[in-house]
């Protein structure tokens, strides 16, 4: 049986529901692998372009696009979130184009789109978000985000006592040539993010000192401007600075000041001329 690519998004939820009762007793990793392999069997190998297009449409429907102006409102727990259920889980892909990723992120984005289509059928899947660092360079600079990486974020829900625990962030680098949709799905399904250390840097977008002081956005603009100053401008500034320092060391006078008169020149005004 050969299915059209337009039915891909319909097949995955039905496939999951059909086997849910049979696989409740199996470990999560086994369920995921069996489900993932079964889902891939319905994707025609001769229809790569249509499948990629379908996956991209699924990603567009299920992935939030973050910018400098909306990330704080998007990455916030829902008002109806239950603190007893733990933090909200997010996976954010930082990617780019020719400027920030040197044209090497096409394979990563293809795998991300396919994983988004697969995760759409999982009711326990995390929220997904995407940042294009060519289009939102200030946000990437503010977060000190490299590409391509996935940030696994656990957003804490405010408790009844109005206390909010720290936001947990882990960064997972992606190989631009070997990453697959299965690798990305496993970040959630097999909790591979737990193998990475928790990020606690100064530019932590939620709990870093810059964020707490309200300086993360201004600092992001400063760092972005510094990164885009051409090298020749730095050389001019350094040259002018070194000349200023040298002139101060020699007394600050005009060039030639303090040097003796050349041989045979006029004597100083306070000495008589030789006869």
User: pLDDT of 182-219, one tens digit each?
Assistant: 999 999 999 999 999 999 888 899 998 888 888 877 87
* 13-27, 104-118, 238-252: the lowest-pLDDT one: 13-27
Cα–Cα distance measured from residue 270 to residue 251, given in angstroms and rounded to the nearest whole number: 23
Per-residue pLDDT, 157: 82
- Strand 88-95 versus strand 149-155 pairing type: antiparallel
DSSP structure string for 90-101: EEEEEE--TTTS
Per-residue pLDDT, 47: 41
Cα–Cα distance measured from residue 37 to residue 41, given in angstroms and rounded to the nearest whole number: 6
Question: Which of the pair, 34 or 171, is modelled with greater confidence?
Answer: 171
- Strand 149-155 versus strand 168-173 pairing type: antiparallel
Q: Would you list the domain boundaries of the chain?
A: 63-74+84-226
Per-residue pLDDT, 30: 58
Containing 58, the helix (H) or strand (E) segment is: helix 48-62
Q: What is the CATH number of domain 63-74+84-226?
A: 3.40.30.10
Cα–Cα distance measured from residue 11 to residue 3, given in angstroms and rounded to the nearest whole number: 9
Q: How many other C-beta atoms lie within 10 A of the C-beta of residue 192?
A: 16
Q: pTM of the entire structure?
A: 0.67
DSSP structure string for 123-175: TTPPEEEEEETTT-HHHHHHHT--SSEEEEEEEPPP-TTS--PPPEEEEEE--
Per-residue pLDDT, 256: 52
pLDDT band for position 105 (cuts 50, 70, 90): very high
Residue 170 in contact with residue 196, Cβ under 8 Å?
Answer: yes
pLDDT tens digits, one per residue of 233-264? 557 767 777 777 777 777 655 555 545 555 55
């Amino acid at each position: 049986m050969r299915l059209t690519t337009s039915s891909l998004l319909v097949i995955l939820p039905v496939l999951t529901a059909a086997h849910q009762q049979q696989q409740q007793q199996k470990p999560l990793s086994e369920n995921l692998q069996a489900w993932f392999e079964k889902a891939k069997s319905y994707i025609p190998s001769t229809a790569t372009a249509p499948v990629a297009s379908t996956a991209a449409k699924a990603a567009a429907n299920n992935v939030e696009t973050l910018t400098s102006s909306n990330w704080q409102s998007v990455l916030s727990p829902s008002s109806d979130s239950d603190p007893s259920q733990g933090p909200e889980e997010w996976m954010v892909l930082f990617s780019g184009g020719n400027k920030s990723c040197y044209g090497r992120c096409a394979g990563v984005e293809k795998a991300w789109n396919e994983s988004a289509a697969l995760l759409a059928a999982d009711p326990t899947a995390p929220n997904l978000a995407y940042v294009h660092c060519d289009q939102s360079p200030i946000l990437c600079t503010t977060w000190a985000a490299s590409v391509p990486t996935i940030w696994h974020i656990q957003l804490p829900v405010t408790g009844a006592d109005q206390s909010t625990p720290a936001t947990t962030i882990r960064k997972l680098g992606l190989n631009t040539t070997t990453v697959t949709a299965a690798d990305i799905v496993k970040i959630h399904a097999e909790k591979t993010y737990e193998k990475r250390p928790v990020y606690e840097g100064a530019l932590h977008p939620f709990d870093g000192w810059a964020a707490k002081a309200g300086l993360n956005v201004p600092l992001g603009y400063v760092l972005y401007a510094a990164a885009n100053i051409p090298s020749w401008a730095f050389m001019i500034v350094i040259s002018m600075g070194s000349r200023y320092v040298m002139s101060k060391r020699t007394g600050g006078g005009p060039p030639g000041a303090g040097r003796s008169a050349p041989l045979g020149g006029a004597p100083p005004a306070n000495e008589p001329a030789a006869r």
